[in-house]
Structure 1
Amino acid sequence: MKDTFLRIERVTTGLAMAGACLMLVVASSLGMFQIITRFVLETPAEWTEILIRLALIWMVFLAIPAAFRQGAMVSVDVLYRWSGPKTRRALDAVVSLAALALILVILWWGWDYSVRGQVQSMAGLESISMFWGYVAMPVGALFCTFGIVGNYLDPRRLELETAQ
């Protein structure tokens, strides 16, 4: 069961990270396009600004699961160094539960916010609903749940192991 979940987590975190990398490429490409149209061609493409912002939002929310998986989001390094193995597991449980609680709130309210915002349109892109910007929160939160549970089942603390 644990191995199956960790395989699923590895795939979902990999997909989320690939999506984050893709959004970075999109944002960078649109930024270059905007620079060329604005300063070289002197006819700015205003629509690129909102798409860059949208890509950056998606990039952040899709990259967060990898940070949770690595144990880099919520860190209690000093307590880990001072504690024994049983206390460390208890700290893992507390941190994981707190992170899951926060992520589940973001998932719930992010979805609610997305549904409520679907009647709005993006400024500069009137044909695209704000739903696609807001839904990054619950999608990222859903991927985060896999990373948090994966980190609890198989903790990774490379920065702690190399610092000692």
Structure 2
Amino acid sequence: MLTALKLVDRAVFHVTLTLAMILLVTMAAVSFYQVTTRFVFEQPSTWSEVTSRSLQIWMVYLGLVAAFRTGSLMAVDMLQRLAPKTLKIVVICAIAGLNLGVLAVMFWYGWSMAERVRFQTLAGVDNPFTGGGISIAIVYTAIPVGAALSIVAVIARFAEEVSRASRGEPVNEAEARARLETEGA
């Protein structure tokens, strides 16, 4: 089971991080185009600002997966480092539970919001294939998609940390550094 979780986690992590990087580059290009048309040609485009903002929203919610997986968000390192083995596992469970709770709320309300606005369209952006508007629900869908993929990352990190803690190994990089400092002193 852990092997399958690792494979899914690795695939989700790499795909979302790659997509987030592609969206960052695309957003920068669209923003450059917007500034060029506005200030150089004095003919601002109608679609570039909305497109850039939409790309940024998707980039952030896809990048959230990498932030959860790598533990880059706010952590309780000191409590984990000072706690004995059994309490450390309780702290890891509490942190994972809180993260999963927040992500579940994000998923639920993100999905609800995307459904609620599905008939509204993005201002100034037309579908190049149909000529009609593009639903703003595409932008709001970033919230439940990012939350669902982040849940995979939280579960994978949780399994990894519990496994390390039960073996008495450092749970994260901060704990490993602190252990090296105390052993070296």
TM-score (norm 2): 0.83
Q: How does 1:73-92 map to 2 (within 5 A)?
A: 73-92=73-92
Which residue, out of 173, 177, 185, partners 1:158? 173
Unmatched runs of 5 consecutive residues or more in structure 2? 127-132, 162-170
The aligned counterpart of 1:40 is: 40
Alpha-carbon shift at residue 40 of structure 1 (Å): 1.7
Alignment-mate amino acid for residue 16 of structure 1: T
More displaced, 6-15 or 37-46? 37-46
Q: Is the 8 A contact 1:30 1:52 kept in 2?
A: yes
**In structure 2, distance between residues paired with 1:119 and 1:17:** 30
Which residue, out of 122, 126, 150, partners 1:144? 150
Q: How does 1:13-162 map to 2 (within 5 A)?
A: 13-125=13-125, 127-155=133-161, 157-162=172-177
Residues 3-46 of structure 1 deviation map (CA, whole Å, 9 limit, x = unaligned): 11111111011111111111101110001111211122221112
Identity within the alignment, %: 29
**In structure 1, distance between residues paired with 2:12 and 2:31:** 28
Q: Is the 8 A contact 1:110 1:134 kept in 2?
A: yes
**In structure 2, distance between residues paired with 1:107 and 1:128:** 22
**Alignment: residue pair count:** 164
Alpha-carbon shift at residue 74 of structure 1 (Å): 4.3
Seen in structure 2, the aligned counterparts of structure 1 residues 159 and 46 have a Cα distance that, compared at 3 Å, is farther
**In structure 1, distance between residues paired with 2:44 and 2:172:** 46
TM-score (norm 1): 0.94
Q: Is the 8 A contact 1:121 1:129 kept in 2?
A: yes
Alpha-carbon shift at residue 162 of structure 1 (Å): 2.6
- Match of 1:123, SS state, is strand
- Match of 1:154, SS state, is helix
Residues 110-146 of structure 1 deviation map (CA, whole Å, 9 limit, x = unaligned): 1111011111111222511111110000000011011
More displaced, 45-54 or 119-128? 119-128
**In structure 1, distance between residues paired with 2:78 and 2:110:** 33
Displaced runs of 4+ in structure 1, greater than 4 A? none
